[in-house]
Structure 1
């Protein structure tokens, strides 16, 4: 195991100090906190046993990892048990609640819904992570019905925040407690005494004859009929039907409130027929919920913007929700388990993020909601994705031509954000990004891959996961190591690595061969995606031998893609004539000064629709650059039947000696070497294109295997 830094040692001590006073027998680690800090189950047990007072015989340390084939060996050795799958699936499958759930996040960055879910399944929740460097809104749940103990390490670089709904008094008694409900011990005792008084008062009222008579009336058919006549009534009809893969027809109503920020109404004030039963559920509002597996009705009078919460699971059936004469039928089936929020006063009643969960949906794929903010392109994309139901969709920035070409050839469904190549992604506002997040959530997919790694894509990851933490988000980087020297490039690299460490990003993929090994060395999931080009392989274009038409197609000039050695090579080829686009002003000046022959040379980039016909006007493409991940242009040019020279900085043709010897220039800064390679490639272009046609199916198969491994990882 790697040596831990002083920061991680302090953080590990902070975690142990927080766990020890709680005497936990069963601990669940979401985010592999202990594994990342170098803690083992044995160390946790020792820390717990060192405290005075009653101790568990053994404390078990469990963890959640997304998939079995990505759990690192040292993580397997760290835990007594590792659950594989999403946090929601694991929590739903727990036969008994955990004593402590550890979340790999600070309180400022925690997602309130995930915290609430953990509080439903554990006596205590421990949030622990690095403190954000800038002030951000707290991630605490809106309903602060628990006491908080907050501890910050000496270096103020990490924190531990302890929450409890089941035992707030115990948390309040711990040293350093910050009482959200009471500032002193006396006030806490007074608060608990007051709660006991209110419990007795409520029980006394419920035992009264007047209350019991009113309750019997509400449960009668007449009470149900009269309730339905009220304008603020919401009618819930269990249809007693199942659909698709559902194993039953159950409907579970967990919560009914007048507004989303209100507690649920008491179940005694829900009017229903005799086919509904009240089921004890200690962790639900008022300790109960309403359940039926038959055709049954209930009505509840609540507020102007009511919220219903319904359980979804494999045995769920259909339910019809009606308010003010408007009805929607919802299929509650879910393959693993989920809680669905329904808003009967809104149109549609289901928010888009709720509809994104797997399983049958409430309307056919072609019937997509058409909010005014969706453009025709966005609407068409949503419909196409829903119809195809792909394992993943990709998001790219069309302004970046090579990145977009790489992405579109690998992923069948590729979403442009922004839509136009003219738009700078940095100009996207927060409202723009939220609209793009709406589109991606409306697609109802389980995995979204962000290609390019722009800052706006990272914000999209956050927006999506805030609303649906079950969606996997990956980043597909087109990146090379020298970019660490760039301030912006290095900042982006750290942004995505830190995001992966926090669990926001599931994996980091790259088209730079071997970059996956670098990512894995950091303890993260890394993948390589080998670029390919779809479409037919064309033969060499029929052109006269002279002049020698040479294309130079760039997406811009940087220190990584400097064209000047190639331009100097053309000066050594008197019979050559240059075609080109994307050349900087200095390159245009060099062309003019050297007196190079040209045929359609410009500074502006050109689209692929224009590029491919122009490639067919040439004998050779020159793309001998200094730094690359894996360039698309050589593959695209060869698909058009035109050989392409490239630099020695990618994996292209390294498994084919014939092509490697003729197309990969070993010295990209030596004009005479480039010129010699160019002359040979033009002379042998027929043989080169023929060999590429023979070789490409093998390479394409490698590319597809890399893509399948990425999806499976």
Structure 2
């Protein structure tokens, strides 16, 4: 399968039904075709054998789907096929061969199969930096495929606008498919330029023809089969085997709302593979629940889908854009993409659209009255010029920072993003002088305007900064670092990375780390520090100067709080459910522990469902995260904090909780307490996905919480001394 529209799948299935094969060869070996063929092409009392020919061994999940797998050269193994197969399927091998090599393979397949089914993208991918729009020896056009004995072909465009072809070829056409198959998809032709009075009429005729063809296609049985197919288990299995649902955005209308909302509606106006592309047709949305498609009041030529409760899955791309409507009847929408989930409140006093980017963190851009006006602000820089005052050279935040640096005669400072609460808390503890970019928490850090970048560079230079640590390393931070380096190469620039290895999976984090490493190798950045123990060794091994910086919390350790009653009060404070921070094993452990009451914030809808279904006693549970001061106050209302996550660098929550006299259970994924046997044995849960083990640690930590806090009080001075020394070494002007 390719990224072509879903119609290519039912078309191929209908072809296979007409062929009624008993033996099929799949040259992709991805494992999706066997499931579809056995479910949708099966013939009464006639088993279908689906074999694979691949050059490399496929994953076990794919191998199990085939009756037999041959591994080796495609051309050699095709030549060795005994007899003739009824159908051969090929796509992926064509993309890795030169056209002359691929044509030899296609001819061999035609001689060994009654029908050859080819699925291939045409031309080059739009905006592909690797191809730059220039055809190469592995790209295809319809002219390149014209030599084939074509029975029928169908052309489609994927969500990026790229054209795909599904071609049925046969030397003899024994099933007479040329006459027996309906035409589906579209046939595209390149026409020369037209001019004169007849040009408009010709365009209108073409639009009318395409409108009629689209209406005809939608009435066709093959198209209707596609609509049924996308909601079947076979389709879901095939899609998962193909790409692990990497391009699928899931949106749930949860049925929840805030206290001011008049309804629970979720309106989706637009869903595109990337920003500025057209929305996919809603026919390709896989939905469960009462989703309806209605025309937009302001433009009846456009439609939107909405529901009060239900789930919809949208096949999009690497950096998709969704547009949702905020309104008085707006409810809660849960957005899921690549293991990360965010819940968005769609209530607003007045109706307006918001853009949601599921691949980014956070997903929501600043709202605007309409998406068009939002784009206008982006284009003009208005949304990001808020840090440039309308009068005077600097705003209050910038002037206060400059004054602070000058009064202290300081030349070292750290830059952080206020939106990232954990990184902000860490940065303020580690470094004496800190400057927020953007200046406020409500501004998103992903985009930047060049004037704003230069303005922040002015602030740092006027403050007298000669050594700057960019803590977190957002895209805007890297651009400021480049501007500073261009202006004054004597300024020392470091970056402190708060990510882990598993975040290589996250597009934005992977992109930024790569760019910072490239900047380091280019001499713009002196070093990249890390708060993940051991990662400094990895960075050094790839040629980047690095150092480990230990997070710390200073101040006196409080005594455990006194809480009335005999219940065990547990706190769970999560900044959003992701594959790295999953609350469900901890919730199961709470359900196993008698006489407990949960305080929580940052939980998504499924976690709330788990709490309700298992009747877990709660105090106050919020979907939204708490402001930092409110969080510290909430922690003091509990006996224990649960933060047993699957991946961390050096989390701040355990340190903050213990500083407040509340023991905190954590997962085995950071350096915390590894140098103290007692604290490690009481606080670090060895199996974060075993609720029974978490429950044991809960009961023991509650019984020993005073001893744990006392042990932490003795431990933390030495740890903080090492942490402060790690900062000194990291900032050292010379090699340590």
Q: What TM-score, normalized by structure 1, do the two folds share?
A: 0.48
Q: Which has the larger radius of gyration?
A: 1
